[in-house]
A and B are shown apart, each in its own frame.
Chain A
Amino acid sequence: MNLQQQSGTAVPALSASGISKSFVSGLVRIQVLNHLSLNVMPAELTLIAGPSGCGKSTLLSILSGLQYSDGGKVVALGEDLTGASVSELEHFRLKHTGFVFQGFNLFTALTAIEQVELPLNYLGIGKREARERSIEALREVDMFHRANQFPAELSGGEKQRVAIARALAKKPQLLFADEPTSALDASSGSTVINLLHKIAREHQTTVLCVSHDPRLIQHADRVLAMEDGEIRRDWRTESDFDINEHLHATKGIH
Chain B
Amino acid sequence: MVSLARKSLMREWPRYLPAILAICFAGVLLFMQAALVLGIFGSAAVYVTTSSSDLWVGYPGTQSVNLGRSINADVEYLLRMDGNITAVEPLQWVDADWRSPQTSGGVSVYVIGINPNQDGLVFDQVLDANVRQLLHEPGAVIVDRADLGQLGVETGNWALIDGKSVHVVATASGLRPLGGVNIISSLDTARQLTAGRDKTRATYWVAKLDDPKNADIVRKQLLSKPSFGSYEIWTASEFALRSQFYWMGDTGAGVAVLFMAAIVLLVGLVVASQALMAVVISSAREYATLNALGAGMAALRRVVLEQAAWIGSIGLVFSIGVSTLLLSIAHSRDIPVSITYQMILVWVGVVLGIALLSGLFAMRGLLRADPALLLR
Give residues in A with beta carbon < 8 Å to B: 57-58, 60-61, 66-67, 86-87, 90-95, 97-99, 101-103, 105, 107-110, 114, 117-119, 121-123, 127, 150, 166, 170, 178
Contacts and interface: CB of A to CB of B under 8 A. Distances in A.
Contact of B2 (A90, A98, A114): A114
A117 B375 CA distance: 23
Given A86-B297, A90-B296, A178-B375, 20 more contacts: A58-B375, A66-B375, A90-B295, A91-B296, A94-B293, A94-B296, A99-B289, A101-B289, A101-B374, A103-B285, A105-B285, A107-B8, A108-B12, A109-B10, A110-B2, A114-B7, A121-B2, A122-B293, A122-B295, A166-B293
Interface residues of B, number: 26
A118 B4 contact: yes
Given A109-B4, A127-B1, A67 B372 contact: yes
Contacts of B10: 109
Contacts of B293: 93-94, 98-99, 118-119, 122, 166, 170
Nearest to B285: A105
Contacts of B297: 86-87, 90
B7 A110 contact: yes
B14 interface: no
Given A93-B294, A110-B4, A127-B1, A150 B374 contact: no
Contacts of B286: 105, 107-108
Contact of B376 (A57, A93, A99): A57
A87 B296 contact: yes
Nearest to B12: A109
Contact of B374 (A98, A105, A166): A105
A122 B11 contact: no
Interface string B274-312: 000000000001101111111111010000000000000
A46 to B, nearest CB: 16
Given A93-B292, A97-B294, A108 B375 contact: no
